[in-house]
């Protein structure tokens, strides 16, 4: 009795093994694959045929076990299936299909079935995990007092539980700024309330700061808490600028010698150069000093010593270069009439002349009319 029972069990095990072998043993397919979202992705299966076996048909089933694509090898016209997939070229006894654009719904297990004659069907399975990366803008700069927008995106909002934005100051201190979780409103941490906003999106997240303060400088991490893949994050750095408003002042230090200062407060420090038109009556190169201010800005003073006669003859300008400016700011220190004033005077003169000639013409015409009327 015992022997019979164990024999029976043995037979059953053999039968199961044989069936599994029949179904799966000869199909090779990768067990798990990761497919990046929004890109095409190709799935491949191959079968090892035995002598005398012929391959009649290949079928692919999707994650819902619905037919995705089927065809008879060597017969292009026999291909039929869903339109978001296409048959890819592959070697003999291998089948490859391409999902044109992978989406969240394509996640799951795919079955490839090879119908062999006369032995029957063999199948393999590949399970697909759809993945995405967090992408950010390139580093940004913002002018203090203005607005800054930082954006982050992740292609699989369906998998996102919440988004958290953190700020890391240049000194390395890290604080949470804002967060947005599924089925709730964006949350702004108390120190940032009133000047920071967060978009209510689990895919494209935008953090807006207005007005930007110098302390907002640093790097921002946007962290997506995802279900299956854990936290995913990316970093974007913000530089804050304070634009210069340069000024020039000067005084006579000894007879015939003038000391001129060009000063600018900015962040980062401005570069000051002097532009002395066609002349070299400066007494040595300018001397520049940088004085860091408590608020993160830097006062730059460039001191130029010139002979006083120079100012009467040529234009002396201080040019302030700054990363946040498209072109340098020029400040003239001359007693000479500036170009703008010259233009203004010229324009006024021309306008006056025009008006006068117009009056003259009208007067002439009027006289002639009167003459004609009299005759």
Q: What is the DSSP letter of 336?
A: S
Residues near ligand NAG (CB under 6 A), total = 15
Structure-block tokens of residue 207: 């953090």
Structure-block tokens of residue 202: 């689990």
- The pair phi, psi for residue 359, each rounded to 5°, is -60, -45
Among the listed residues 4, 64, 75, 327, the single contact to ligand NAG using CB under 6 A? 64
End-to-end CA separation in angstroms for the chain: 152
d(CA 196, CA 209): 5
Under rule CB under 6 A, residue 357 binds ligand NAG: no
Site string for ligand NAG, 113-152 (x = CB under 6 A): -------------------------xx-------------
- The pair phi, psi for residue 170, each rounded to 5°, is -60, -20
Q: Which is nearer to ligand NAG, 202 or 258 (CB)?
A: 258
For residue 213, the SS3 value is coil
Least distance in Å: CB of 38 to ligand NAG? 22
Among the listed residues 4, 89, 280, 335, the single contact to ligand NAG using CB under 6 A? 280
Q: Which is nearer to ligand NAG, 293 or 346 (CB)?
A: 293
Q: Which is nearer to ligand NAG, 57 or 201 (CB)?
A: 57
Q: Which is nearer to ligand NAG, 113 or 156 (CB)?
A: 113
Among the listed residues 54, 289, 307, 357, the single contact to ligand NAG using CB under 6 A? 289
Under rule CB under 6 A, residue 290 binds ligand NAG: no
- The pair phi, psi for residue 99, each rounded to 5°, is -85, 120
Under rule CB under 6 A, residue 339 binds ligand NAG: no
**Nearest alpha carbon to residue 33 among 121, 81, 102:** 102
The answer to whether 298 and 290 are in contact (CB under 8 A) is yes
Alpha-carbon torsion angle 202, 208, 214, 217, nearest 10: 30
Taking residue 76's Cβ as centre, other Cβ atoms within 10 Å add up to 8
Q: Which is nearer to ligand NAG, 323 or 368 (CB)?
A: 323
Site string for ligand NAG, 179-218 (x = CB under 6 A): ----------------------------------------
The answer to whether 119 and 26 are in contact (CB under 8 A) is no
The answer to whether 208 and 137 are in contact (CB under 8 A) is no
d(CA 60, CA 125): 10
Q: Which is nearer to ligand NAG, 131 or 261 (CB)?
A: 261
Q: Which is nearer to ligand NAG, 201 or 239 (CB)?
A: 239
Least distance in Å: CB of 171 to ligand NAG? 13
Least distance in Å: CB of 108 to ligand NAG? 7
* Residue ranges in 230-249 that form contacts with ligand NAG under rule CB under 6 A: 237, 249
Alpha-carbon torsion angle 278, 281, 284, 286, nearest 10: -60
Under rule CB under 6 A, residue 303 binds ligand NAG: yes
* Residue ranges in 244-273 that form contacts with ligand NAG under rule CB under 6 A: 249-251, 259, 261
**What does the binding site for ligand NAG look like in residue numbers (CB under 6 A)?**
64-65, 138-139, 237, 249-251, 259, 261, 279-280, 289, 301, 303
């Amino acid at each position: 009795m015992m022997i019979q029972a164990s024999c029976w069990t043995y037979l059953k095990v053999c039968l199961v093994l044989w069936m599994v072998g029949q179904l799966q043993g000869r199909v090779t397919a990768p067990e798990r694959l990761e497919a990046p979202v929004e890109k095409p992705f190709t799935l491949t299966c191959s079968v090892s045929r035995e002598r005398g076996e012929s391959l009649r048909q290949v079928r692919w089933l999707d994650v819902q076990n619905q037919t995705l694509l089927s065809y008879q090898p060597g017969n292009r016209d026999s291909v039929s299936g869903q339109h978001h997939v296409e048959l890819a070229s592959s070697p003999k006894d291998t089948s490859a299909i391409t999902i044109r654009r992978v989406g969240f719904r394509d996640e799951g297990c795919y079955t490839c079935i090879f119908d062999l004659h006369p032995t029957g069907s063999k199948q393999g399975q590949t399970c697909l995990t759809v993945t995405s990366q967090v992408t950010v803008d390139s580093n940004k700069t913002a002018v203090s007092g203005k607005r800054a927008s930082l954006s982050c995106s992740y292609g699989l909002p369906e998998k996102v539980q919440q988004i958290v934005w953190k700020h890391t100051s240049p000194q390395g201190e890290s604080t949470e700024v804002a967060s947005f979780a599924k089925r709730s409103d964006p949350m702004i941490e108390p120190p940032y309330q009133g000047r920071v906003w967060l978009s209510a999106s689990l895919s494209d997240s935008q953090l807006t700061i207005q007005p930007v303060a110098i302390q907002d400088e640093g790097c921002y991490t946007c962290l997506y808490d995802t279900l299956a893949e854990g936290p995913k994050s990316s970093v974007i750095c913000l530089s804050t600028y304070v634009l210069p408003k340069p000024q020039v002042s000067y005084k006579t230090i000894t007879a015939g010698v003038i000391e001129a200062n060009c000063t600018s407060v900015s962040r980062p420090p401005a570069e000051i150069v002097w532009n002395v038109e066609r002349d070299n009556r400066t007494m040595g190169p300018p001397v520049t000093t940088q004085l860091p201010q408590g608020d993160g800005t830097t006062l730059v003073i460039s001191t130029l010593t010139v002979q006083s006669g120079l100012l009467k003859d040529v234009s002396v300008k201080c040019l302030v270069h700054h990363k946040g400016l498209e072109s340098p700011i020029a400040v003239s220190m001359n007693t000479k009439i500036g170009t703008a004033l010259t233009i203004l005077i010229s324009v006024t003169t021309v306008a006056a002349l025009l008006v006068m000639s117009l009056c003259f013409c009208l007067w002439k015409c009027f006289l002639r009319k009167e003459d004609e009327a009299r005759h």
